[in-house]
Amino acid sequence: MFDWISWNVVLAVIAAFVKAFVVVNALLVAFAYMTLTERKVMGRMQVRYGPNRVGPFGLLQPIADGIKLAFKEDVTPSQANIWVHTIAPIMALVPALIIFAVIPIGPSLLIADQPWTWYIANINVSYLYVTAVASLGVYGLVLAGWASNNKYSLLGGLRASAQMISYELAQAAAALTVVILAGSINLYEIVEQQNRSLIPYALYLPVGLVAFAVYLIAGVAETNRAPFDLPEAEGELGAGFHTEYSGFKWSMFFMAEYVNMVNVSAIAIVLFLGGWWPAVPYLGETVAGIVGPIFFLLKLALFMFFFIWLRSTLPRLRFDRLMGLGWKVLFPVALVNLMVTAVIVALWPTGVWPFI
Amino acid sequence: MEFVVFVIAAAVAVAAALMMVLQRNAMYSALFLVLTFFCIAVFYVLLGAFFLAVVQVAVYAGAIMVLMLFVLMLLNVAHPEPADRRLAFLKPFGVIAALVLVIELAVAVLQAPTEPAAAVGGAATGAARQATPIARPAPATPAPAFPLPPEGVGAAEVGHTQALASVLFTRFLLPFEVTSILLLAAILGATVLARKRPETT
């Protein structure tokens, strides 16, 4: 009964499974060492050392943290809604992990006449997939706040949903600028366009730079990172939506936050910084296919540093200011920027940008 | 493969839809509705309509239901409420409406062509392929819904985003624009209602 299954499909499925396994584990290891990097970098910025006791340079600190969190007692408040309380961290983490499936980190190449691709899936609507899945991440936070049966948690959940819905608009409008410039919503195609013209979209003055700035600010807000970490503002809300969480469930919220940082950075690199640019095309296909991901990961590391830098530098916003910034500044700017881009592309449809 | 995924998604969709209706707790109902939306998105993927699937998740699950949850949390309707006796007379009408819908769908499915046409993700194609998922054991193209990693699959059968857009902005331009005006009116209405009136402040 299985004679209609072609072996190519089976191989593709196996390859996808292996890649997904590698990507998920890489993301979680990156999460573990991001916590260490963050603590060390913030320590240096605050003129202290940061963790340096466990292992050489404190390199075993994440493992110690992981063991501690795994064996910590998992407390569920007696009046909490047990089912939703348990599902909420999963609903926060899973969307964060599956976004990376469509992100291309390097150009496709042939290895021994076999096509090798640096992504798990290349669907035609990959940018829309990213927005759709990213917008699901808010469920985890909202449900955590609701299920904990705690006023502060509830307020944190409400703040999370309001904030993420508001900034999604500005983020999407900024990304649509690039979609218009590239004429495609396929992330791989968007990167290829930038590498063909040798100029990443962030340098398409002035609209590209504005869109990049809006996207970055909205992205920081989407990941609930300082200075936009209102849902977990410890001065006002205890710990916000994860006040009533401990042990492994608590660490899942943190995994979600850090993996989301990686996702936002990776998408910003794909949309605005040319992905694996400048690895193509003069290097030749094979070399570019091997060097490209290294460029991508270097840019990713820069973005991660930027996130940490922001956190140790800027004070938290007030909530009404946050909403004002999202709705009255970023969203109109992104919309006007989008319209200007559309007009320019309509006037100069040759693909040659007039202002460089 | 396609059939197995379809059966699982369909079972989950039906179960989630039933649970949504039967739950007393509004929060659970909302969550089961989200699950139903996901299963419908899976159907769209199986039919090769990636754009619709993604928009389904982004708009319904990602935006509308989050707002619903927001309102539910804000009103704090966490506790099960007794059934409202005043609306009990509506129940027979609900049953009648459901029956009519079932008959309508059955007629549509039975009348649809059994061969999957090369239409642009049309409803008729979808119904036909849902009705006879196992009747074609050897599909000519191996499962067009299955995204193979290399670029060689051909853009024509993946997505239909461009086809959808060109139809939307040419043939259906008027309904499209009318809908956007309707939405604009709704936004303005909401703003007017939510605004503080000068004399009451």
Residue-level pLDDT at A164: 87
Measured between beta carbons, which residues in chain B are less than 8 angstroms from residue A122? 147, 149, 151
Preferred mutation among B23, B72, B73 to probe A, highest tally of A CBs within 10 A: B73
DSSP class of residue B200? G
d(CA B129, CA B143): 12
Residue A6 near chain B (CB below 8 Å): yes
Residue that is written with structure tokens 């060689």 in the block: B152
Measuring CA to CA, how many Å separate A246 from each of A71, A82, B43? Answer: 10, 14, 37
Q: pLDDT per residue over A291-317, tens digit each?
A: 888 889 999 999 999 999 998 898 888
Q: Is the pLDDT of residue B132 over 50?
A: no
Residue A342 near chain B (CB below 8 Å): no
- Candidates A15, A121, A124; nearest CB to B161: A124
A114 DSSP β-pair partners: A111
* Interface contact B143-A9, CB threshold 8 A: yes
CB pairs under 8 A between A and B: 104
Q: Which residue of A has its CA nearest to B56?
A: A132
Residue that is written with structure tokens 């916590």 in the block: A35
- Candidates A115, A162, A164; nearest CB to B150: A115
DSSP-derived pairing of the beta strands A114-116 and A109-111: antiparallel
Determine the average pLDDT of the residues in B102-110.
Answer: 91
pTM of the model: 0.83
* Interface contact A121-B61, CB threshold 8 A: no
Residue B154 near chain A (CB below 8 Å): no
Residue B192 near chain A (CB below 8 Å): no
Residue-level pLDDT at B127: 41
Of A21-30, A43-52, A182-191, A227-236, the range with the lowest mean pLDDT is: A227-236
Asked if A249 contacts A74 with a C-beta cutoff of 8 angstroms, the reply is: yes
Asked if A139 contacts B34 with a C-beta cutoff of 8 angstroms, the reply is: yes
Residue-level pLDDT at A264: 93
pLDDT interval class at A159 (50, 70, 90): confident
Residue A86 near chain B (CB below 8 Å): no
Asked if A66 contacts A254 with a C-beta cutoff of 8 angstroms, the reply is: no
- Candidates A125, A142, A165; nearest CB to B159: A125
Residue A115 near chain B (CB below 8 Å): yes
Which of B152, B163, B126 shows the shortest CA–CA distance to B48? B126
Determine the average pLDDT of the residues in A47-51.
Answer: 90
pLDDT interval class at A345 (50, 70, 90): confident
Residue A165 near chain B (CB below 8 Å): yes
HSE value, Cβ hemisphere, 13 Å, CA-based, for A175: 28
